[in-house]
Chain A
Amino acid sequence: MRGADFVVKALEREGVDFVFGYPGGAIMPVYDALVEAKFKHVLVRHEQGAALAADGYARASGKVGVCLATSGPGATNLVTGIANAFMDSVPIVAITGQVPTHYMGTDAFQETDMLGVTMSIVKHSFLPRSPEDLFWMLPEAFRVARSGRPGPVLIDIPKDVQLAMITMPEAPTEQDKADASPDPAALAAAVELLEESEQPIIYAGGGIGMAGALDAFREFVEATRIPVVTTLKGIGSLDGQHELNLGMLGMHGLKAANLAVQESDLLIVIGARLDDRATGKLDTFAPRAKLIHLDIDPAELGKLRRPAVAVRGNLTESLNALRAPIAIRNWRTRCLTRKAETAWDYNAPGEDIYAPRLLRLLTERSGPKTIISCDVGQHQMWVAQHCNFTEPYQHLTSGGLGTMGYGLPAAIGAWLARPDHEVIVVSGDGSIMMNIQELATLNRYGIPIKILLLDNSHLGLVRQWQELFFEERFSEVDLSDNPEFIQVAEAFGIRGMKIEHKHQEEEGLEALLQAKGPFFLHVAIHPETSVWPLVPPGKSNADMMEGAKS
Chain B
Amino acid sequence: MKVFMQLKLFNREGSLERVLGVVRLRGFQVTEMAAHQPGDSETLDVTLKLNGQRESENLKQQLDKLYDVEHVEMFIMAPVKSAVMSNFSRQPLAAAG
Residues of A at under 8 Å CB distance from B? 115-116, 119-120, 123-125, 127, 129, 144, 297-299, 301-303
- Is the CB–CB distance between A144 and B65 below 8 Å? no
Given contacts A127-B13, A299-B58, A299-B62, contact A120 B67 (CB under 8 A): no
- Interface members, chain B 10-67 (any A CB < 8 Å): 13-14, 17-18, 21-22, 25, 55, 57-58, 61-62, 64-67
Task: Give chain A nearest CB distance to B82 CB in angstroms.
Answer: 32
B14 is contacted by which of A127, A129, A298 (Cβ under 8 Å)? Answer: A127
- Is the CB–CB distance between B13 and A115 below 8 Å? yes
- Is the CB–CB distance between A119 and B67 below 8 Å? no
Tell me which residues across on chain A come within 8 A of B17, comparing CB atoms.
116, 119
The 4 closest A-B pairs by CB, nearest first: A299-B61, A124-B67, A299-B62, A127-B13
Tell me which residues across on chain A come within 8 A of B66, comparing CB atoms.
124
Residues of B at under 8 Å CB distance from A? 13-14, 17-18, 21-22, 25, 55, 57-58, 61-62, 64-68
Q: A123-B67, A302-B58, A303-B58 are in contact. List 16 more A-B contacts (CB 8 A).
A: A115-B14, A116-B17, A119-B18, A120-B21, A120-B25, A124-B66, A124-B68, A125-B14, A127-B14, A129-B13, A298-B61, A298-B64, A299-B58, A299-B61, A299-B64, A301-B61
Tell me which residues across on chain A come within 8 A of B64, comparing CB atoms.
298-299
Measured CB to CB, the nearest residue on chain B to A303 is B58
- Is the CB–CB distance between A299 and B13 below 8 Å? no
- Is the CB–CB distance between A299 and B67 below 8 Å? no
Tell me which residues across on chain A come within 8 A of B68, comparing CB atoms.
124
Tell me which residues across on chain B come within 8 A of A115, comparing CB atoms.
13-14
Measured CB to CB, the nearest residue on chain B to A115 is B14
- Is the CB–CB distance between A299 and B14 below 8 Å? no
Tell me which residues across on chain A come within 8 A of B57, comparing CB atoms.
302
What is the CA–CA distance of A125 and B18 in the complex, to the nearest angstrom? 10
What is the CA–CA distance of A127 and B13 in the complex, to the nearest angstrom? 7
Provide 28 A-B residue pairs closer than 8 Å at the C-beta atoms, listed in order of the A residue: A115-B13, A116-B14, A119-B14, A119-B17, A119-B18, A119-B21, A120-B21, A120-B25, A124-B66, A125-B14, A127-B13, A127-B14, A129-B13, A297-B65, A298-B61, A298-B64, A298-B65, A299-B58, A299-B61, A299-B62, A299-B64, A299-B65, A301-B61, A302-B55, A302-B57, A302-B58, A303-B58, A303-B61
Tell me which residues across on chain A come within 8 A of B18, comparing CB atoms.
119
Task: Give chain B nearest CB distance to A271 CB in angstroms.
Answer: 17
Task: Give chain A nearest CB distance to B5 CB in angstroms.
Answer: 15
Tell me which residues across on chain A come within 8 A of B22, comparing CB atoms.
120
Task: Give chain A nearest CB distance to B53 CB in angstroms.
Answer: 15
Task: Give chain B nearest CB distance to A280 CB in angstroms.
Answer: 20
Tell me which residues across on chain A come within 8 A of B65, comparing CB atoms.
297-299
Tell me which residues across on chain A come within 8 A of B58, comparing CB atoms.
299, 302-303
Task: Give chain A nearest CB distance to B67 CB in angstroms.
Answer: 4
What is the CA–CA distance of A123 and B65 in the complex, to the nearest angstrom? 9
- Is the CB–CB distance between A144 and B61 below 8 Å? no
What is the CA–CA distance of A410 and B28 in the complex, to the nearest angstrom? 36
Measured CB to CB, the nearest residue on chain B to A306 is B55
What is the CA–CA distance of A461 and B60 in the complex, to the nearest angstrom? 37
Task: Give chain B nearest CB distance to A267 CB in angstroms.
Answer: 20
Measured CB to CB, the nearest residue on chain B to A124 is B67
Task: Give chain B nearest CB distance to A282 CB in angstroms.
Answer: 13
Tell me which residues across on chain A come within 8 A of B25, comparing CB atoms.
120
Task: Give chain B nearest CB distance to A140 CB in angstroms.
Answer: 9
Tell me which residues across on chain A come within 8 A of B62, comparing CB atoms.
299
What is the CA–CA distance of A193 and B51 in the complex, to the nearest angstrom? 36
Tell me which residues across on chain B come within 8 A of A303, comparing CB atoms.
58, 61
Tell me which residues across on chain A come within 8 A of B55, comparing CB atoms.
302
Measured CB to CB, the nearest residue on chain B to A144 is B67
What is the CA–CA distance of A127 and B65 in the complex, to the nearest angstrom? 19
Measured CB to CB, the nearest residue on chain A to B58 is A303
Measured CB to CB, the nearest residue on chain A to B62 is A299
Output the residue of A115, A116, A299 with the most chain B CB within 10 A.
A299
Tell me which residues across on chain B come within 8 A of A302, comparing CB atoms.
55, 57-58
Task: Give chain A nearest CB distance to B89 CB in angstroms.
Answer: 27
What is the CA–CA distance of A285 and B63 in the complex, to the nearest angstrom? 28
Measured CB to CB, the nearest residue on chain B to A300 is B61
What is the CA–CA distance of A116 and B10 in the complex, to the nearest angstrom? 18
What is the CA–CA distance of A115 and B16 in the complex, to the nearest angstrom? 13
What is the CA–CA distance of A389 and B66 in the complex, to the nearest angstrom? 35
Task: Give chain A nearest CB distance to B96 CB in angstroms.
Answer: 33
Tell me which residues across on chain B come within 8 A of A297, comparing CB atoms.
65
What is the CA–CA distance of A68 and B66 in the complex, to the nearest angstrom? 24
What is the CA–CA distance of A511 and B55 in the complex, to the nearest angstrom? 55
What is the CA–CA distance of A297 and B67 in the complex, to the nearest angstrom? 13
Tell me which residues across on chain B come within 8 A of A127, comparing CB atoms.
13-14
Task: Give chain B nearest CB distance to A73 CB in angstroms.
Answer: 22
Measured CB to CB, the nearest residue on chain A to B57 is A302
What is the CA–CA distance of A125 and B13 in the complex, to the nearest angstrom? 9
Measured CB to CB, the nearest residue on chain A to B66 is A124
Measured CB to CB, the nearest residue on chain B to A127 is B13
What is the CA–CA distance of A328 and B76 in the complex, to the nearest angstrom? 43
What is the CA–CA distance of A124 and B65 in the complex, to the nearest angstrom? 10
Measured CB to CB, the nearest residue on chain B to A299 is B61
Measured CB to CB, the nearest residue on chain B to A119 is B21
Measured CB to CB, the nearest residue on chain A to B18 is A119
What is the CA–CA distance of A299 and B61 in the complex, to the nearest angstrom? 5
Tell me which residues across on chain B come within 8 A of A123, comparing CB atoms.
67
Tell me which residues across on chain A come within 8 A of B67, comparing CB atoms.
123-124, 144
What is the CA–CA distance of A299 and B57 in the complex, to the nearest angstrom? 9
Task: Give chain B nearest CB distance to A313 CB in angstroms.
Answer: 15
Tell me which residues across on chain A come within 8 A of B61, comparing CB atoms.
298-299, 301, 303
Measured CB to CB, the nearest residue on chain B to A125 is B14
Task: Give chain A nearest CB distance to B25 CB in angstroms.
Answer: 6
What is the CA–CA distance of A123 and B66 in the complex, to the nearest angstrom? 8
Tell me which residues across on chain B come within 8 A of A129, comparing CB atoms.
13
